Chain A
Amino acid sequence: MTVSARRDSTAVAHLRPELRPNRASAFVRLFRWADRGVSPYVYIAPFFVLFIGFGLFPILYTAYVSLTNRDLLSPGIEAYTGLANYRELIGDDYFWNSVKNTFLLMVMCSVPQLVFALIVAHLLTASIRLRTMFRMGVLLPNVTSIVAVTLVFGQIFSRDFGIINWALGLFGVDHIAWQAGDWTSRSAIATMVVWRWTGYNALIYLGAMLAIPKEQFEAAAMDGAGTWRQLWHVTLPALRPTIAFTALISLIGQMQLFAEPLLFDASPGSVTGGSARQFQTMTLFMYEESFRLGHLGYGAAVSWVLVIITFVLAAIGYLITRRYTGDGGV
């Protein structure tokens, strides 16, 4: 298609005005109609075909699979079971445990991340030397993969060889088995997420901060406000829509915490999120049920719950953003 279309365009382009026929022939008119009327749809088609095939269809099909007892290892013998999976889910302690962990981690990951990001962004606003170096430095965590982050933090938090425990030991604290405890393991996972995303959010905030008119800061400075009070009274109000947006993205991102709890586990290959499931997230629970135990139908029910929670969050976020900005936001 590329080559032929290109040839067409040059062919027509060669028809300089003096050579062009006065009245377009039927063929040329057809060609022009195809060009104006059809080509836009051709250009946007790849996106829609791929999205419908591998995005929308799977999500909708999840709803159907969740109403069956489909099994990974014995495909083709599934039966429609109605809401049985959902009824089972309501009585499943492991499921509720994963819901609890997901929401706890959501808060533990998002709040510090966004607060630190604001502070870092504020520090970066000054016309400092080495500006590019600092900006690249804060973004560095975000370009490393989640797997890499989890593996190196696994070492940093390791009970016997980790530097965290070594550093704590200098203050007389006994070695902590980070993976074993409820709160220690969640804190360690939150640390990884916060570390990976703070700089990214800081740069988004920085972009928004630099767009605030300078006069506002000068007026505040005239009134005797120092740099931190400027942050509180000038920057924060102006940044509200941006903060709402990043908070939303962060919360939705935390809904999908998967690699961290999978790879942080002290026993290799385990998918339970700790020996007592102390840090198993909903996504990891879904993975365990569907791809370890083979209960695709049951796993799909978990997925569908995740989809619904995500849409509720997105809707809330959309409404908030809309209120702040007066339009659709984004």
Chain B
Amino acid sequence: MTSAAHSTLAELGKLRGIRRRRSGNGPAGEPSGILTRYPFLFVVLLLSSFPVYWTFTIASQTNEAVGQTPPPFLPGGNFFANALRVFDNIDFAKALVNSVIVAGAITVSTLAFCSLAGFAFAKLRFRGRNALLLVVIATMMCPVQLGVIPLYIEMQTLGWAQHLIAVIAPTAVSAFGVVFMRQYTVQVVPDELLEAGRMDGCTSWGLYWHVVLPALRPAMAVLGLLTFMQAWNDFMWPVIVLSPHNPTVQVALATLAAGKYMDYTLVLAGTALATLPVLVVFAVFGRRIIGGIMEGAVKG
């Protein structure tokens, strides 16, 4: 790495430090206002976390216990038994592996392609740049899900129907990601830095790799997390194009529920297993996602 790239990194570190320090202000809070907020806030917290709590509560009970009045409000000790039944009923292991492959591949390709395109739109001059950027922004509004019928025909023609590639390819890059990456590049990478890189003989790829990519890391973390969770949770297209024999977890859950609708402990044990990975991701990286949403970066 050239010395220019090193100074670049130091420079960016400072910039990022400055950006991070946007403290929250909000309404001029008189003490009484603050006092009344806590009860409300705890109610909100209770309501928003209850269904998740309930998933795990039911998932760890027996069906007899769930059928009682009043229902059990605390988790029981039956989670592993129910989870084993999930694996007995459907090929849940395969579904989990498939979802890891799908969500992983989509995340990696989205990060790579969006950061590249974002960099090009932010910092490179080329004919038609503004018009093309407008096209990208316009496609953010484009409800791609509505093209599922031709997309299905297309996948059949390509021989991809029922294969994971049919789920990966259409979402391997996102307009939102491109716009987000462009915006962030504009904000954190000063033009002078790139000029300096050019003077040192960096190609545009060199600038991307040594200067822009390191600077984009925080934004890429946010984009990566959102993309992963979205891909993990996606349902409509996978349920159309994949068969129950080669499903993602969400498709497998639908199969599980369709077969045994009243077997709540079984269905919700599967749901709990499918939700666990995103909950872990959220617990570890949640703050970053919240920062991304609040900065208005995350739309749609």
Contacts and interface: CB of A to CB of B under 8 A. Distances in A.
Interface in B255-280: 257-261, 264, 267-268, 271, 274-275, 278-279
A291 B240 contact: yes
A16 to B, nearest CB: 8
Contacts of B296: 204, 207-208
A301 to B, nearest CB: 10
A22 interface: no
Contact of A35 (B141, B144, B146, B204): B204
Nearest to A146: B235
A47 B113 contact: yes
A256 B143 CA distance: 9
Interface residues of A, number: 121
Contacts of B196: none
Contact of B28 (A151, A217, A303): A217
A39 B124 contact: yes
A263 B271 CA distance: 13
B201 interface: yes
Interface stretch (A4-12, A87-95, A97-105): A4-12
Contacts of B229: 143
A296 B41 contact: no
Contact of A126 (B34, B286, B294): B34
A300 B49 CA distance: 39
**Chain B interface mostly helix, strand, loop or mixed?**
helix
A132 interface: yes
17 contacts: A12-B202, A12-B203, A36-B204, A44-B121, A50-B173, A127-B24, A128-B34, A139-B289, A143-B233, A149-B51, A152-B55, A152-B58, A210-B26, A221-B30, A227-B33, A263-B254, A310-B141
Interface of A: 5-6, 8-10, 12-13, 15, 20, 35-37, 39-41, 43-44, 46-48, 50-51, 53-59, 61-62, 65, 70, 75, 120, 122-128, 131-141, 143-149, 151-156, 158, 160-161, 163, 166, 169, 195, 198-200, 203-204, 206-210, 214, 217-218, 220-221, 226-227, 230-231, 234-235, 245, 249, 252, 255-256, 258-259, 262-263, 266, 268-269, 283, 286-287, 290-291, 296, 299-300, 303, 306-307, 310-311, 314, 330
Interface of B: 2, 24-30, 33-34, 37-38, 40-41, 44-45, 47-49, 51-52, 54-55, 58, 66-67, 69-71, 109, 113-114, 116-117, 119-121, 124-126, 129, 132, 136-137, 139-154, 156, 169-170, 172-173, 175, 178, 200-206, 208-210, 229, 232-233, 235-236, 240, 250, 253-254, 257-261, 264, 267-268, 271, 274-275, 278-279, 281-282, 286-287, 289-290, 293-296, 298-300
